[in-house]
Structure 1
Amino acid sequence: MLKWLDIIRIANNGNPSPEKRVEKTNEEWQLILTPEQFRVTRLKGTERPHSSDMCSYFEPGKYACICCNTELFDAGEKFESGTGWPSFTQPIKENVVAYHKDSTFGMVRIEALCNICDAHLGHVFQDGPTPSGLRYCMNAVSLRKIVVNESKITFGGGCFWCTEAIFQQLKGVVKVESGYSGGEISNPSYREVCSGMTGHAEVIEVTFNPAEISFEDLLRIHLATHNPTTIDAQGADKGSQYRSVIFYRNDKEKDAAMKVIEELQASYNAMIVTQLEMFEHFYKAEAYHQNYYNNNSDQTYCQAIINPKLKKFKDLFKENLKEQVTL
C-alpha cells in the first residue's frame, strides 16, 4: 500500500517501469479524443469541480485511462471527498500511475499521470482516509468507467500459503492475494504479524466472478479446507494470526456467512469457532508471499503440508476446479 512518503520518494527518485508504453503525437491524440479530453489529458488542464456525476457513483467496477485504456483504479478504493472531483485512495497497481512535482500556480504539488501514455490525470494529496492517507484527486474526463462482474471476499484459515494455493484452483476465481487483515496497525510486516502483537490474521483476498462461483460456495470451500473448530490454531501453527475468520463487507455478507456456518455445523463434532469480523483494510503481504506454492512447489513445506491439503481439496471439489487443473 502506497503512503505519502512513498509518493514523495517516487517523485524524487523516479517512477517505476510501466508494463508497456503508448506514445502518439498531439495530432494523433486529437483524432481520438474530444476537445475537453485533449485539453485535460494532453495539455494538463483541470475540469470544473462537480462537472461530472462520476463523483457520486460507487458501484463495483474499474476506471481506465481515457487515452490508452490502461486500468488505473478500482471502485473499491473510491470515496466521497466532497471536492467535486472523483477521489481514490490507491491505484490498481503501483506502476500504472507516475508522479511528478508540479510547481505551477505558486505551489508545489504532486501531479499524477498515466504511466503508460503520460496522460494528465490530476494530483495526489495527503489528506485522504486511513490507512493510506492518500487522496488521488482525478479529473473525471481523464477516466473511463469499466463495468466488471467481480466481487471480493477476504478470509483466513491458517497459513496463507496454503489457502492461496487452494483458491487459485477454483473456477470463477480471478485473482488471489495473500495479506493481513483485522489488526491494529497500518502496513504490518510479516515479522510483526507473526509476533501475534498486531492483531492481524493471515488472510487471502479472493477476487471472483459471482456468475461463476457464489459468495456462499467460496465460504463452504473455505470452511471445508481448514479446521474451523480450533481457536487461534491450525495444526502446528499457533497464534491469533492463524485464526479462522471471515471478514464481511456488509450485513448481507454477514447474514450469508452465518447461514453457511449454521448449515455446515452438523458436519462437525465440535463447535465451529470461525470469527465474523467487519472488513476494514486488507494489507497485501510482501512479494515473496504471493503465489508462494506455484513458485516454491519443490520446497519441503509445500511437499509435506500443502500438497496433502490440495489433494484433499481436489477430491472434495472436483466440479469446482478450473479446467486446466488435473488430479
Structure 2
Amino acid sequence: MLKWIDVIRFASTGNPIPDKKVVKTNEEWHTLLTPEEFRITRLKGTERAHSSEMCSLFEPGKYACVCCGTLLFDANEKFESGTGWPSFTQPVTENAIAYHKDISYGMVRVETLCNTCDAHLGHVFPDGPGPGGLRYCMNAVALKKVESNERKATFGGGCFWCTEAVFNQLKGVTKVESGYSGGKIANPTYREICSGLTGHAEVIEVTYNPDEITYDDLLRIHLSTHNPTTLNRQGADVGTQYRSVIFYRDEAEKKAAEQAIAEIQSAYDEPIVTEVAPLEYFYKAEEYHQDYYSNNSEEGYCQVVIDPKLRKFRELFKNKLKDTKEGELK
C-alpha cells in the first residue's frame, strides 16, 4: 500500500520502473485521441469539475489509460471525494503511476502520469481516506472503463503458505496473494504480525472469475481445507495471526459465510470458531512469501505440512482443479 511518503520519494528520487514504455509523437497521438483527450493527456489540461458521470459510477471494473490502455485503477479503490473529479485511493500496481513535482499556478503539487506512456492523469493529494490516506484526483477524460468480471475473496486459515498453495490450484482462480488483515496498524511486517500484538491474521486474497467458480465454492473449500474448530491455532502454529477467519466485502458475502459455516458444522465434532468480519484492508505480504510453495516445494515445511494438505484437498475437490499435465502436481 502506497502512502504519502512513498509518493514524495518517487517524485523526488525517481519513479518505479514500468512494465513497458509506449512512445509516440504528438502527431501520432492526435490520430488516436479526441481533441479533448489530447488536450488533457498530452498537453496537461484539466477538465471542468463535475463534467463527467464517472464521478458517480462505482460498479465493479477497472480503469485504464485512455492513451495506451495500461490498467491504472480498480473500481474497488474508487470513492466519492466531493471534488467533482473521479478519485481513487490506490493504483492497481505500484509501478502503474509516475509522479512529478508540479509548481504551476503558484502551487506545489504532485502530478500523476501513466508510467507507460507519460499521459497526464491528474494529481495526488495526502487527504484521502485511511489507511493509506491518498486521493488520486483524476481527469475522467484520461481514463476509460474496462469491464471486468473479477471478484476478490479474503480468507485466513493458518499459515498463508498453505492456504495460498491450495487456492492457486482451483479453476477460475486467476491470482492468489498472501498478506495480512484484521489488525490495528497499517503496512504491518511479518516480524510485527508474528508478535501477535498487531491483531492481524495471515490471510490470502483470492482473485477469481465467478462464472467459473462461485464465492460459495470458495467458502466450502476454505472451511474444508483447514481446521475451523481450533481457536487461534492450526497444527503447531499458535497465535491470533493463525486464526480461522472470513473477511467479507458486503452483506451478501457475510450472509453466505454464515450460511456456509452453519451447513458445514455437521462435518465437525467441535464447534466451528471461524471469525466472520468486515474487510477493512488487505496488506500484501513481503515478496518472499508470495508463491511460497511453488518456489520452495522441496523444503521440509512444504513436504511435511503442505504436501499432505494438498493431497487431501485434491482428492476432495477433483472437479474444481485447474487442468494440469499428468504428474505436474505432487
Which bin holds the TM-score, normalised by the shorter protein? over 0.9
Match of residue 321 from structure 2: 321
Aligned to 1:27: 27
Q: Which moved more, 1:197-206 or 1:294-303?
A: 294-303
Counterpart of 1:286, as a letter, is E
Unaligned runs of 5+ in 1: none
Cα distance in 2, alignment partners of residues 302 and 122 from structure 1: 46
What per-residue deviation string (whole Å, max 9, x for no partner) do you get for residues 127-161 of structure 1?
00000000000000000001111111101000001
Q: Could you tell me which residue of structure 1 aligns to residue 87 of structure 2?
A: 87
Tell me whether 1:137 sits opposite 2:155 in the alignment: no
Distance in 2 of aligned mates of 1:126 and 1:158:
35
SS at match of 1:187: coil
**C-alpha separation between the residues in 1 aligned to 2:302 and 2:188?**
25
Cα distance between partner residues in 1 of 2:55 and 2:210? 26
- Which runs of no fewer than 5 residues in structure 2 stay unpaired? none
Distance of 1:322 and 1:302 partners within structure 2 = 20
Residue of structure 1 equivalent to 2:284: 284
Partner of 1:57: 57
Identical residues among aligned pairs (%): 70
Q: Give the conservation status (yes or no) of the 8 Å contact 1:128–1:135.
A: yes
How far apart are the structure 2 equivalents of 1:296 and 1:21? 33
Tell me the secondary structure at the aligned position of residue 132 of structure 1: coil
Answer whether contact 1:169 1:325 (CA < 8 A) is retained.
Answer: no
Aligned partner letter, 2:73: F
In 2, Cα distance between the equivalents of 1:73 and 1:251?
24
Moved more, 44-53 or 298-307: 298-307
The residue aligned with 1:259 is 259
Contact 1:219–1:260 at 8 Å: present in 2 too? Answer: yes
Separation of aligned partners in 1, 2:267 and 2:304: 26
| Aligned match of 2:241 | 241
Match of 1:188 in 2: 188
1:74 aligns with 2:57: no
Q: Aligned-pair distance for 1:26?
A: 0.2
| Corresponding residue number in structure 2 for 1:200 | 200
CA distance in 2, matches of 1:97, 1:314: 40
1:18 equivalent to 2:10? Answer no
Distance 1:272 1:133 in 2: 36
Shift of 1:325: 5.9
| Deviation at residue 305 of structure 1 after TM alignment | 1.0
Aligned to 1:146: 146
Structure 1 residue 303, shift from structure 2 partner: 1.3
Q: Which letter does structure 2 place at the counterpart of 1:180?
A: Y
Q: What is the distance in 1 between the residues matched to 2:36 and 2:280?
A: 37
**Cα separation, 1, equivalents of 2:110 and 2:297:** 43
Aligned counterparts of 2:325 and 2:158: Cα–Cα separation in 1: 23
1:16 Cα deviation after fit:
1.0
Q: After superposition, where does 1:100-249 map in structure 2 within 5 Å?
A: 100-249=100-249
Provide the aligned C-alpha RMSD in A.
0.8
Q: Distance in 2 between matches of 1:79 and 1:256?
A: 25
1:49-97 alpha-carbon deviations (Å, 9 max, x no partner)? 0000001011110000000000000000000000000000100010110
Q: 1:247 touches 1:279 (CA, 8 Å); kept in 2?
A: yes
Say how many residue pairs are matched.
327
For residues 157-187 of structure 1, the C-alpha deviation after alignment (integer angstroms, 9 at most, x for no partner) is 0000110011010001111111111101111
Q: Which moved more, 1:298-307 or 1:41-50?
A: 298-307
Aligned mates of 1:17, 1:156 — CA distance in 2: 32
Query: Which whole-Å CA distance do the structure 2 matches of 1:285 and 1:325 have between them?
Result: 30
CA distance in 2, matches of 1:304, 1:11: 47
**Match for 1:142: what amino acid?**
A
> Aligned partners of 1:102, 1:290: CA distance in 2, in Å?
36
Report how far residue 238 of structure 1 moved.
0.1
Q: Secondary structure at the match of 2:267?
A: coil
Q: Partners in 1 of 2:90 and 2:148 — Cα distance?
A: 18
In 1, the alpha carbon distance for the partners of 2:272 and 2:38 equals 58
The CA distance in 2 between the partners of 1:108 and 1:300, in whole Å, is 54
Question: Aligned letter for 2:88?
Answer: F
- 1:85-116 deviations in Å (ceiling 9; x for gaps): 00001000101100000110111110000000
Equivalent residue of 1:266, what SS?
helix
Match of 1:320, as an amino acid?
K
State the SS of the aligned residue for 2:180.
Answer: strand
Separation in structure 1 between the aligned mates of residue 187 and residue 287 of structure 2, nearest angstrom: 13
Matched, 1:99 2:88: no
1:3 aligns with 2:15: no
Q: Please state how far the C-alpha of 1:252 moved relative to its aligned partner.
A: 1.1
Distance 2:251 2:212 in 1: 22
1:244 alignment partner AA: S
Q: CA deviation at 1:324?
A: 1.9
